[in-house]
Structure 1
Amino acid sequence: MRHGVAGRRFSRTSAHREAMMDNMVTSLLRHERIRTTVPKAKEARKLAEKVITLGKKGSLHNRRTAGKVVNDKEVLAKVFGPLSERYAQRPGGYTRIIRLGKRLGDAAEMALLELVDRPEAPVAPAAAEGTEAETPAAE
C-alpha cells in the first residue's frame, strides 16, 4: 500500500527524477514556457510555484532554498527580481497547463507549461518598403 506517498516516479531513479524536475523548472523560469508531457508538467508546476513563492518572500534563506532547485544564477536573479514584482499581488497560481494533443511517436499527451501574465514576445517588424534588398541595382 502507498499510503501518504505522493508524486510520480516516471520510471527513473530518485536522483534522475530530481535532476529532471530541477532542470525543467529552471528552463520554465528562463523561457517562461516549456513543452513537455502532461504528467511531467503537473509535477514541474508544483515545484515552480513553490520557487516563485520563495522569490516573493525574498529573504536570504529563501534565496538559498530556491537555489537548490534553480541551478542558474541569472534565472535565480530573475525569480527574486522581475518575477517577484510581477506576481507580488497574486496569491498563487503562477502557471498554466495547456494541453496540445498526442505526440506522433508514442502518443504521449503533450502540454505547454507556461507562466501566467507573461509578456508577449515582440513581433519582428515587417520589412520596410524600399529596403536595399528590394531596390534594383543601379546599372
Structure 2
Amino acid sequence: MRHNKSGRRLGRNSSHRAAMLRNMVTSLIDHERITTTDARAKEVRKIAEKMITLGKRGDLHARRQALSVIREKEVVAKLFDRLAPRFSERAGGYTRIIKVGNRLGDNAPVSIIEFVDQEQAAE
C-alpha cells in the first residue's frame, strides 16, 4: 500500500530524482520559464514555491537553505535580489503551469511552467 507517501517517482531512483528536480528549479529561477512534462512541472512547482518563500524571508538562514537546493550562487542571488521583491505583495501561487499539448516522440503531455508576473518583467 502507498499510504502517506507524497510526491511522484518520475521513473527514477531517489538521488536521480532529487538531482533532476534541483536542476529544473535552478533553470526555472534562472530563465523564469521552462518547458517540461506535466508531472515534472507539478513537482518542480512545489520546490520553486518554497524557494520564493525563502527569498521573501531574506535572512542568512533562508539563503543557506536555498543554497542547499539550488547549488548555484548566482541563481540564489537572483532569487533573493530580483525575484523575491517582485513577489513581496503576493501570499503564494508564484508559478503557473500552461499545458501545451503532447510531445511528438512519445506523446507525453507537455507544459510550460513560469512565474506569474513574467509578462510584466518582459515589458
List runs of 5+ in structure 2 lacking aligned partners.
Answer: none
Paired residues for 1:48-59 under 5 Å:
48-59=48-59
1:113 and 1:31 map into 2 onto residues whose CA distance is: 11
Q: What do you get for the CA RMSD once the two structures are aligned? A: 0.8
Letter in 1 for 2:17: R
Partner SS for 1:53:
helix
Partner SS for 2:8:
coil
Match of 1:120 in 2: 122
The percentage of aligned residue pairs carrying the same residue is 57
1:120 and 1:107 map into 2 onto residues whose CA distance is: 31
For CA contacts below 8 A with separation 6 or more, give which structure has more relative contact order. Answer: 2
Match of 1:29 in 2: 29
Extract structure 1 runs of 4+ deviating beyond 6 A.
none
Q: Which has the higher helix share?
A: 2
Q: Name the larger-Rg structure.
A: 1
Aligned length: 121
Match of 2:7 in 1: 7
1:84 and 1:59 map into 2 onto residues whose CA distance is: 12
Paired residues for 1:30-45 under 5 Å:
30-45=30-45
TM-fit CA distance, 1:18 = 0.2
TM-fit CA distance, 1:71 = 1.5
1:61 and 1:33 map into 2 onto residues whose CA distance is: 27
Paired residues for 1:128-139 under 5 Å:
none
2:122 and 2:58 map into 1 onto residues whose CA distance is: 26
TM-fit CA distance, 1:63 = 0.6
TM-fit CA distance, 1:59 = 1.0
Partner SS for 1:34:
strand
TM-fit CA distance, 1:2 = 1.1
TM-fit CA distance, 1:11 = 1.3
Partner SS for 1:11:
coil
**1:55-97 deviation digits (Å, cap 9, x = unpaired):** 0001111111111111111110011111111000000000000
Q: What is the TM-score with the length of structure 2 in the denominator? A: 0.96
